Amino acid sequence: MLQQSTQLDRLYHALADGGRRAMLDRLIKGPASVSELAEPLDMTLSAVVQHLKVLEESGLVRTEKVGRVRTCRVEPKALSMAEKWINQRRGLWERRFDRLGDLLATLPDDEQGKETKS
Amino acid sequence: MLQQSTQLDRLYHALADGGRRAMLDRLIKGPASVSELAEPLDMTLSAVVQHLKVLEESGLVRTEKVGRVRTCRVEPKALSMAEKWINQRRGLWERRFDRLGDLLATLPDDEQGKETKS
């Protein structure tokens, strides 16, 4: 199993490209073959295959070859992992502000807005 | 103003490195000078400055120089933007499964689990 930090590196690297995000947008609607995935995109099939490799390495997409057709599917667990890291940090940030608000609320009205307490 | 796609590219690229994520983790706790930011990290000051540049370009961090000290702050709006894109896709994915569940619920019990309807 990959270390969590390496997996986050790969997840965010995979998301850091508009073409790969467009491929994920397509796969969110349902599984697709590589050629179906490539069809609406303004890129060569070879570029699509390269992007698909990055998406697979990140765990965001799983592919399976049956006969001559490779079917691609999105992996919602990887999407959740990428969301969770950011969500936790946003939560920490908001709690820091809540604590600051609580602290201000404990000050008498005439103390608020002053640089230093008398 | 940056195009949304370019901004998402920069946001996820900034998040795709464990060192940069550690710097964000520090800044979530409160503003810090560049040397305070560098202190717990196992990297040169020059590497910290390079990572800081990537974080600033992404909008995740804002820095301000007063006298000889550059103070770094996290920008929660950029964090929200990075979270939102993923959250929306996860939402679309879940709704797709809800619709599938609703569809299955409309089938008579003996139809469920069959490959085709008779």
ipTM associated with this complex: 0.84
Q: How far is CA B100 from CA B29, B79, B95, in A?
A: 43, 32, 9
Q: Is A90 in CB contact (< 8 Å) with chain B?
A: yes
Runs of H (alpha helix) within B16-75: 18-28, 34-38, 45-58
The reported pLDDT for the residue numbered B117 is: 47
Please tell me which of the candidates A12, A86, A87 has its beta carbon nearest to residue B16.
A12
d(CA B107, CA B118): 12
Domains in chain B: boundaries: 2-78
Mean pLDDT of A57-64: 97
Q: Predicted confidence band at A93 (pLDDT cuts at 50, 70, 90)? A: confident
Structure tokens at A48: 């699509």
Angstrom distance (rounded) from CA B5 to CA B45: 31
Instruction: CATH number for A2-78: choose from 1.10.10.10, 2.40.110.10, 3.20.20.140, 3.20.20.10.
Output: 1.10.10.10
Number of inter-chain CB pairs under 8 A, A vs B? 86
Chain B residue nearest residue A85, CA to CA = B83
CA dist A10 and A17 (Å) reads 12
Q: Which residues of B touch A80 (CB under 8 A)?
A: 90
Q: Are strands B32-33 and B61-66 parallel, antiparallel or unpaired?
A: unpaired
Chain position carrying tokens 């995740």: B60
**Is residue A89 predicted with pLDDT exceeding 90?**
yes
Mean pLDDT of A55-76: 95
> What is the DSSP track for B63-106?
EEEETTEEEEEE-HHHHHHHHHHHHHHHHHHHHHHHHHHHHHHH
Greater model confidence, B2 or A65: A65
Could you report the per-residue pLDDT of B44-81, keeping only the tens digit for each? 999 999 999 999 999 999 999 999 999 999 999 999 99
Query: Is the model's pLDDT at B85 over the cut of 70?
Result: yes
* B12 band by pLDDT with thresholds 50, 70 and 90: very high
| Subunit contact B15:A8, Cβ cutoff 8 A | yes
Query: Looking at A32-36, A112-116, B37-41, which range is the least confident one?
Result: A112-116
Does B85 sit within 8 Å of A25, measured CB to CB?
A: no
Grouping H, G, I as helix, E, B as strand and the rest as coil, residue B115 is coil
What is the distance of C-alpha A25 from the center of its chain? 12
Please give the model's pTM, rounded to 2 decimal places: 0.85
Q: Which residues contact B21 (CB under 8 A, 6 or more apart)?
A: A5, A8, A85, B15
What sign has the CA pseudo-torsion A89, A93, A96, A102?
Answer: negative
Using the Cβ of A91 and the Cβ atoms of chain B, whether some distance falls under 8 Å is answered with no
What is the predicted pLDDT for the residue at B118? 43
At A114 the pLDDT is 56
Residue B79 has its nearest CB partner, among A8, A80, A90, at A90
Residues ≥6 apart with Cβ < 8 Å to B81: B7, B8, B11, B59
pLDDT at B94: 87
pLDDT at res. A118:
43
Residues 14-73 of A with CB under 8 A from B: 15-18, 21, 24-25, 28-30
What angle, 0 to 180 degrees and rounded to 10, lies between the N-to-C axes of helices B18-28 and A76-106? Answer: 20
**Per-residue pLDDT at A99:** 78
- Best of B4, B10, B15, B27 to substitute, by most chain A Cβ atoms within 10 angstroms, is B15
Whole-number average pLDDT of chain B: 89
| pLDDT bracket for residue A17 (50, 70, 90) | very high
3 state DSSP class of A30 = coil
Please list every residue in chain A whose beta carbon sits closer than 8 Å to the beta carbon of residue B9: 16-18
What Rg, from alpha-carbon coordinates, does chain A have? 23
